[in-house]
């Protein structure tokens, strides 16, 4: 995705080949994993699990945690969140001169002593692209989902908008308005004063973490990762980190709708959200066995932890930054710093020369290879490359050769460098390659020419490439 977004910086390079790479975000486990889990992890993952965060095998031990104990931790975390909600909402209520009876009604379901109501959290900046009010697209449908007396659902909203962000403030006003409707009292809670303490309780205390940004605007999103590591299950648009983390079983996904009309897109995605809540989330949560917990729910929460914890943590992230970027960058520094940075000056002169002459570089085919050959026969390709004022060593000429992408198979492609034989005439140089294909069937090939210098940080960083 990053390479596609930045494709215009290297306009002649296919986006997957351009120098733009990526490292997926991670979350600092010691900061965001609740201490409530530590005892169970010590027992089932083995002491020292903090040092084995990126080992996938390390986390399989989570499956061995007895469901009852797993559930007890989850309920404890929810109870802790409900305590904080009661304090915060009581303050809010006092500030707004609400009656005690009204406060009791608002907090009726958020009972710390019996935290059994399914609780769904949405807490983040109220930037408009995060669509905090998508859930309110169809209030009648929402009412049907949350107002079932046997299967109550609480939505907790918290977050901030920048004071100058009018549309963001408008979202908060709308949530407050819906939360005040009598039928949503106690089921939609808006907590003011979003801070780190509330954020940490929210991402560990709710049952489901909701995120419904407009695809593809979520660069990563990290709150859902914090939630997942605490056994909270994600329900999110397949965007940002969830596009990489969702495996079909470890949570729920809203597939982005591609519709040029934003209102229609929102309506379609809201419908998907309601359907997932109504058909999957609520029934699974309330499918309780006699001992009071839902085995299916616990299995999904465990799968979410096992599949996501080893990947979306800062250990893995930092390791990738070092291997892919910091270490190669340090190596480049050493190569450049030789002899008082003489190589850097060389490279700068070379780049200037290449930019001046690139528009004069041309390529044409001059061989007459047959379109069909028999197995075992060899092929010879010849190109005439006009190099304008450049040297042959400034360019690399390649044959890309292989099977086109077939059903389910990625293209198997070889990149073969073509050899310069001699000057033909003027600035034209003859490049050739001979090969004996060791495969049968339809075979595709293309030629390409691009500037080459051993000191380039990335082979295609000049963004220049001619195709034939």
Ligand X SMILES: *Cc1c(COP(=O)(O)O)cnc(C)c1O
Least distance from ligand X to the Cβ atom of residue 231, Å: 17
Least distance from ligand X to the Cβ atom of residue 214, Å: 13
Query: How many residues lie near ligand X (CB under 6 A)?
Result: 8
Which one, of 174, 226, 173, lies nearest residue 196 by Cα? 226
Which one, of 333, 350, 331, 355, lies nearest residue 453 by Cα? 350
Least distance from ligand X to the Cβ atom of residue 105, Å: 29
Q: Which is nearer to ligand X, 133 or 429 (CB)?
A: 133
Q: Which is nearer to ligand X, 26 or 451 (CB)?
A: 26
Residue 207, Cβ density class (10 Å: 0-12 exposed, 13-18 middle, ≥19 buried): buried
Stretch of 218-226, 314-322, 335-343, 459-467 contacting ligand X, by CB under 6 A: 218-226
For the segment 169-208, give every residue that binds ligand X (CB under 6 A): 196, 199
Q: Which is nearer to ligand X, 160 or 458 (CB)?
A: 160
Site string for ligand X, 278-307 (x = CB under 6 A): ------------------------------
Least distance from ligand X to the Cβ atom of residue 196, Å: 5
Residue with tokens 């059994």: 116
Residue with tokens 């993952």: 45
Stretch of 168-176, 219-227, 334-342, 429-437 contacting ligand X, by CB under 6 A: 219-227
Stretch of 45-53, 174-182, 215-223, 269-277 contacting ligand X, by CB under 6 A: 215-223
Q: Which of 212, 223, 230, 304 binds ligand X (CB under 6 A)?
A: 223
- Asked if 222 interacts with ligand X (CB under 6 A), we say yes
Stretch of 223-231, 293-301, 310-318, 455-463 contacting ligand X, by CB under 6 A: 223-231
Q: Which is nearer to ligand X, 218 or 268 (CB)?
A: 218
Least distance from ligand X to the Cβ atom of residue 70, Å: 24
Q: Which is nearer to ligand X, 239 or 398 (CB)?
A: 239
Least distance from ligand X to the Cβ atom of residue 403, Å: 42
Least distance from ligand X to the Cβ atom of residue 216, Å: 15
For the segment 97-126, give every residue that binds ligand X (CB under 6 A): 124
Q: Which is nearer to ligand X, 26 or 310 (CB)?
A: 26
- Asked if 236 interacts with ligand X (CB under 6 A), we say no
Stretch of 176-184, 222-230, 270-278, 336-344 contacting ligand X, by CB under 6 A: 222-230
Q: What gap in Å lies between CA 367 and CA 348, rounded to an integer? A: 36
Least distance from ligand X to the Cβ atom of residue 220, Å: 7
Least distance from ligand X to the Cβ atom of residue 222, Å: 4
- Asked if 221 interacts with ligand X (CB under 6 A), we say yes
Q: Which is nearer to ligand X, 206 or 282 (CB)?
A: 206
Q: Which is nearer to ligand X, 82 or 241 (CB)?
A: 241
Least distance from ligand X to the Cβ atom of residue 379, Å: 53
Least distance from ligand X to the Cβ atom of residue 223, Å: 3
Stretch of 44-52, 77-85, 178-186, 221-229 contacting ligand X, by CB under 6 A: 221-229
Residue with tokens 């995705």: 1
- The 3-class SS string of the chain reads CHHHHCHHHHCCCCHHHCCCCCCCCCECHHHHCCHHHHHHHHHHHCCCHHHHCCCHHHHHHHHHCCHHHHHHHHHHHHHHHHHHHHHHHHHHHHHCCCCHHHHHHHCCCCCCCCCCCEEEEEECCCCHHHCCCHHHCCHHHHHHHHCCCCCCEEEEEECCCCCCCHHHHHHHHHHHHHHHCHHHCCCEEEECCCCHHHHHHHHHHCCEEEECCCCCCCCCCCHHHHHHHCCCEEEEECCHHHHHHCCCCCEEEECCCCCCCHHHHHHHHHHHHHHHHHHHHHHHHCCCCCCCCCHHHHHHHHHHHHHHCCCCEHHHHHHHHHHHHHHHHHHHHHHHHHHHHHHHHHHHHHHHHHHHHHHHCEEEECCCCCCCCCCCCCEEEEEEEECCCCCHHHEEEEEEEEECCCCCCCCEEEEEECEEEEEEECCEEEEEEEECCCCCCCCEEEEEEEECCCCCCCCCCCCCCEEC
Q: Which residues of this protein are in contact with ligand X, per CB under 6 A?
A: 124, 196, 199, 221-224, 226
């Amino acid at each position: 995705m990053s390479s596609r977004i930045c494709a215009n910086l290297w306009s002649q390079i296919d986006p997957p080949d351009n120098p733009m790479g990526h490292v997926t975000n991670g979350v600092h486990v010691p900061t965001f994993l609740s201490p409530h889990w530590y005892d169970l992890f010590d027992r089932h993952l083995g002491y020292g699990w903090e040092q084995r965060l990126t080992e996938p095998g390390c986390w399989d031990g989570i499956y061995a945690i007895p469901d009852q104990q797993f559930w007890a931790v989850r309920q404890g975390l929810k109870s802790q969140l409900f305590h904080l909600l009661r304090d915060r909402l009581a303050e809010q209520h006092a500030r707004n001169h609400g009656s005690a009876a009204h406060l009791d009604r608002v907090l009726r379901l958020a009972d710390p002593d019996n935290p059994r109501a399914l609780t769904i959290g949405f807490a983040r900046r109220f930037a408009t692209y995060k669509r905090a009010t998508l859930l309110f697209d169809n209030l009648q449908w929402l009412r049907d989902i949350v107002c079932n007396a046997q299967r109550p659902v609480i939505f907790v909203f918290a977050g901030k908008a920048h004071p100058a962000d009018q549309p963001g403030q408008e979202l908060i006003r709308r949530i407050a308005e819906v939360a005040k409707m009598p039928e949503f009292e106690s089921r939609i809670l808006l907590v003011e004063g979003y801070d780190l303490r509330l954020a940490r309780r929210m991402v560990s205390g709710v049952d489901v973490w909701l995120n419904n940004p407009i695809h593809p605007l979520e660069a990563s999103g990290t709150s859902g990762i914090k939630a997942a590591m605490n056994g909270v299950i994600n329900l999110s648009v397949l965007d940002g980190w969830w596009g990489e983390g969702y495996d079909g079983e470890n949570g729920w996904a809203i597939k982005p709708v591609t519709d040029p009309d934003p209102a229609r897109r929102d309506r379609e995605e809201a419908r998907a959200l309601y359907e997932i809540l109504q058909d999957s989330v609520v029934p699974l949560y309330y499918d309780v066995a006699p001992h009071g917990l839902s085995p299916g729910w616990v299995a999904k929460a465990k799968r979410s932890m096992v599949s996501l914890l080893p990947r979306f943590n800062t250990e893995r992230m930092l390791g990738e930054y070092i291997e892919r970027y910091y270490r190669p960058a340090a190596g480049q520094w050493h190569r450049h710093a030789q002899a008082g940075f003489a190589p850097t000056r060389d490279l700068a002169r070379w780049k200037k020369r290449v930019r001046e002459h690139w528009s004069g570089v041309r390529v044409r085919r001059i061989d007459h290879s047959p379109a069909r050959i028999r197995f075992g026969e060899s092929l010879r390709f010849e190109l005439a490359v006009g190099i304008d004022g450049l040297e042959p060593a400034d360019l690399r000429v390649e044959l890309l050769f292989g099977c086109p992408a077939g059903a389910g198979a990625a293209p198997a492609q070889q990149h073969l460098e073509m050899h310069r034989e001699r000057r033909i005439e003027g600035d034209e140089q003859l490049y050739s390659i001979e090969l004996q294909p060791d495969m049968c069937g339809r075979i595709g090939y293309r030629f390409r020419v691009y500037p080459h210098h051993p000191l380039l940080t990335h082979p295609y960083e000049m963004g220049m490439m001619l195709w034939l």
